[in-house]
């Protein structure tokens, strides 16, 4: 057996170099005489690992000094509660743009605690575009403004940010470190690691310091950003091994020249795929060209049987996890940082061949 | 470099067989062509892993059919909030026995949501014993009764359960699967995996079904047991790799003959250490003999300089992480399932030699 090209939306492909390094160090890490999994989180060896992970996030994303970098548990779904609980004590109100299932879930969870103003939605066309925003729909007294920067399921992404004077909060789970993002424009950014950053079980949160420390009284200690900010993400035992793999991925990103270099590669990869989709008679992309994601490309043939035939043939050929989300149907190729250019080239070559054979 | 004997309180030693198996499968799992870390949690391969983990928990702990087995994120500290939020909507009251820092923190977090009745405490003697319980101190209208079964920091454990008719809730983080526990006597059991069960980042929860589904309105979706019970612990992306390692540890426990067999070994290991402590002129255990933990054995020389000298010499000899918790001082040997008998025998031999040399 050999490694496949894995187009999973998440958890997803990791750089093979990272896996091999983790493999090499699994039983004994350096001169510690133990696995990273066995290390006390209070040990010097482990402190060096988590410190290095934070330093690399700061370096790679150019995080300003007045932001905290946290590594938490619970995924994006836990952030959906933490954000209103921590950031909306004052006016108990926030603006949300509904660009897909995850933004919708975030808004629904927020509604348990605050008033949610849905300023726009692209639900009318199965979230196949990013809606234009009308500033008159924004709340004057919102505590924050929430977006999902890249929509994993629907394959859309923001190319310009909402013009708001409120703290801008973004779910960057599926685009973190795949393109340059100006952290200073945001109040808070978060990402489940399991797409571009590492294994499932660790969530990166980057939050402006002035937004920390005014949580609602009902906030559980573990859901208060202050708890984690005050304790270097080690109030309790953190997901130590997942953070270690995150560090290896960050080192890999740095070795590739950083985020700007990866962005060029990601743009090239996306262009290969979208150019083919635009020229194909069999396959077509489901997203309006101007809002297409660099990371997640949904496409269809328009014929469910043909879709199924393609997915099965692709799997047989070593291109796996191409089935689309049930709400979109068809196919979806997630081409995160770890997907090499040749993975996309070979997929497109396979699609061309399939198209010829099924003309 | 070779592997050391790691007496860390957690994260802690894992069976070398487990680490080697994880190492072997790191880059490619079976015929999947990918690492477990890269698998979609919605894939058949991953479903088989999480199903097997649950089946093994049920088999090894003899979990009755009317209990759910959940694998969650956030550690024990998140359970400290989930327990009152989920189980105490009715009377908003619970009884807690304070046997150490973790029971204390659990009670303090619960107090944010409910009335906490501290029925007993062993704080008067640095938690060096399990307090006798006076039933007249129990609340008639408590929604549950909370204990910390084994106290990692102080090295005590319950040898008989409180005589309560309320759902009994126990933190078994540091004794899970180290001794036979009758699950049917409990309403809910939970354990952070990072001591006896696997890596940090996954928490095992075993909860009686009738206790699920009546959470307080303010409960975040991710902190509601019902969310996870209804979705096979996959409402959102679970900590997939940590659950895989948990499964490997469970397979290892089964291969050793199960929990009853491990308990015999653990009793033998503890006897070796405590017998020596009782006979030593230099070292002495800090816990009353009848409440001594099988897993965590704190001991002191009574002289801080001598303690420090011992810890340094032990480290040099390959016995690491023996420093005691700051609230107890001295030393602590955590001898979880993965610590082999010879690890304890060699430690005791080293302690004897140290005692002779420092008489």
Which among A11, A33, A235 is the nearest to B237, CB-wise? A11
| Nearest residue on chain A to B221, alpha-carbon basis | A109
Which among A35, A76, A199 is the nearest to B19, CB-wise? A35
pLDDT at res. A2: 86
Domains of chain B, residue spans: 16-255, 258-358
B54 has a pLDDT exceeding 80: yes
Contact A2 B40 (CB under 8 A): no
Instruction: Give per-residue pLDDT as tens, B90-130.
Output: 999 999 999 999 999 999 999 999 999 999 999 999 999 99
CA distance B201 to B73: 6
CB burial of residue B285 (10 Å; 0-12, 13-18, 19+): buried
Q: Which residues of B touch A195 (CB under 8 A)?
A: none
Contact B201 A34 (CB under 8 A): no
Please spell the DSSP secondary structure of B87-102, one letter per residue. Answer: H-TTT-EEEEEE-SHH
pLDDT at res. B359: 82
pLDDT at res. A59: 98
Contact with chain B for residue A230, Cβ under 8 A: no
| Nearest residue on chain A to B40, alpha-carbon basis | A11
Q: Which residues of B touch A202 (CB under 8 A)?
A: 201
B9 has a pLDDT exceeding 80: yes
Q: Which residues of A touch B114 (CB under 8 A)?
A: none
Query: What is the arithmetic mean of pLDDT over B188-216?
Result: 98
CA distance B49 to B161: 34
Window 275-304 of B: residues touching A by CB (8 A cutoff) are none
Q: Which residues of A touch B237 (CB under 8 A)?
A: 10-11, 75, 192, 194, 200
Per-residue pLDDT band at B2 (split at 50, 70, 90): confident
| Topology, domain B258-358 | 3.90.1150
Q: Give domain B16-255's CATH number out of 3.20.20.70, 3.10.129.10, 3.40.640.10, 3.40.50.1860.
A: 3.40.640.10
CA dihedral B195, B200, B206, B211 (to 10 degrees): 130
Contact with chain B for residue A231, Cβ under 8 A: no
Distance from the A322 Cα atom to the nearest Cα atom in chain B, whole angstroms: 11
CA distance B65 to A65: 52
Q: Which residues of B touch A16 (CB under 8 A)?
A: 27
CB burial of residue A214 (10 Å; 0-12, 13-18, 19+): middle
pLDDT at res. A1: 52
Q: Which residues contact B102 (CB under 8 A, 6 or more apart)?
A: B76, B148, B151, B152, B153, B171, B173
What is the torsional sign of CA B196, B30, A245, B23? positive
The answer to whether residue A284 is catalytic is no
Which among A10, A40, A237 is the nearest to B75, CB-wise? A237
- Percent of chain B whose predicted confidence (pLDDT) is above 70: 100
**Is the fold of B16-255 the same as that of B258-358?**
no
Contact with chain A for residue B90, Cβ under 8 A: no
- Percent of chain A whose predicted confidence (pLDDT) is above 70: 100
Q: Which residues of A touch B4 (CB under 8 A)?
A: 32-34
| Segments of chain A with pLDDT less than 70 | 1
| Nearest residue on chain B to A17, alpha-carbon basis | B27
Instruction: Count Cα neighbours of B179 within 13 Å in the Cβ-side half-sphere.
Output: 18
Please spell the DSSP secondary structure of A186-239, one letter per residue. Answer: -SEEEEETTTTTSSTT-EEEEEEGGGSS---TT--GGG-HHHHHTTTT-SS---
Please spell the DSSP secondary structure of A35-81, one letter per residue. Answer: -GGGS-TTSHHHHHHHHHHHHHHHHHHT--TTEEEEEESSHHHHHHH
Per-residue pLDDT band at B76 (split at 50, 70, 90): very high
Contact B218 A222 (CB under 8 A): no
Which among A19, A238, A242 is the nearest to B35, CB-wise? A19
- Residue from A93, A195, A247, A323 carrying the catalytic annotation: A195
Window 332-351 of B: residues touching A by CB (8 A cutoff) are none
pLDDT at res. A296: 98
Omega cis (within 30) before B11: yes
- Tell me which residue has tokens 């009902």: A218
- Percent of chain B whose predicted confidence (pLDDT) is above 90: 99
CA dihedral B219, B223, B229, B235 (to 10 degrees): 110
Contact A239 B239 (CB under 8 A): yes
Contact A38 B9 (CB under 8 A): no
- Residue from A93, A95, A102, A269 carrying the catalytic annotation: A102
Q: Which residues of A touch B12 (CB under 8 A)?
A: 38, 40
Catalytic center residues of B: 102, 171, 195
Contact A74 B74 (CB under 8 A): yes
pLDDT at res. B1: 52
DSSP percent split of chain A into helix, strand, coil, nearest 5: 40, 15, 45
Q: Which residues pair with B156 in a beta bridge?
A: B151, B292
Query: What is the arithmetic mean of pLDDT over B339-357?
Result: 98
Residue A90 main-chain phi, psi, to 5 deg: -65, -65
Residue B298 main-chain phi, psi, to 5 deg: -80, 145
The answer to whether residue A252 is catalytic is no
pTM of the entire predicted model: 0.98
Does residue A45 contact residue A39 with C-beta atoms inside 8 Å?
yes
Which among A33, A35, A238 is the nearest to B14, CB-wise? A35
């Amino acid at each position: 057996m050999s490694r496949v090209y894995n187009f999973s939306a998440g958890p997803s492909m990791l750089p093979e170099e990272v896996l091999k390094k983790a493999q090499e160090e699994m039983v004994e890490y350096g001169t510690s005489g133990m696995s990273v999994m066995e290390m006390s989180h209070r040990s010097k060896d482990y402190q060096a690992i988590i410190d290095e992970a934070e330093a690399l996030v700061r370096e790679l994303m150019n995080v300003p000094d007045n932001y905290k970098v946290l590594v938490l548990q619970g995924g994006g779904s836990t952030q959906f509660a933490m954000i209103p609980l921590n950031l909306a004590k004052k006016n108990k109100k926030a603006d949300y743009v509904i660009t897909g299932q995850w933004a919708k879930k975030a808004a629904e969870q927020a509604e348990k605690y605050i008033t949610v103003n849905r300023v726009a939605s692209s639900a009318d066309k199965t979230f196949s575009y990013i809606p234009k925003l009308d500033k008159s729909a924004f709340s004057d007294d919102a505590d924050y403004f929430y977006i999902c920067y890249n929509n994993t399921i629907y394959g859309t992404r923001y190319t310009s940010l909402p013009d708001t004077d409120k703290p801008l909060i973004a779910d960057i789970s599926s685009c973190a470190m795949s393109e340059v993002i100006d952290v200073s424009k945001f109040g808070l950014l978060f990402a489940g690691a399991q797409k571009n950053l590492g294994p499932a079980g660790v969530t990166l949160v980057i939050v402006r310091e002035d937004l920390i420390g005014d949580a609602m009284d009902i906030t559980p200690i573990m859901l208060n950003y202050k708890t984690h900010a005050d304790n270097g993400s080690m109030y309790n035992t953190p997901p130590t091994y997942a953070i270690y793999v995150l560090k290896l991925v960050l080192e890999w990103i740095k070795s590739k020249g950083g985020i700007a270099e990866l962005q060029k590669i990601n743009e090239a990869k996306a262009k290969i795929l979208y150019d083919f989709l635009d020229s194909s008679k069999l396959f077509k992309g489901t997203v309006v060209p101007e809002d297409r994601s660099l990371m997640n490309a949904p496409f269809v043939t328009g014929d469910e049987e043909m879709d199924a035939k393609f997915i099965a043939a692709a799997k047989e050929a070593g291109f796996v996890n191409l089935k689309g989300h049930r709400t979109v149907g068809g196919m979806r190729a997630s081409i995160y940082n770890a997907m090499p250019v040749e993975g996309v080239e070979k997929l497109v070559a396979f699609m061309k061949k399939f198209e010829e054979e099924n003309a």
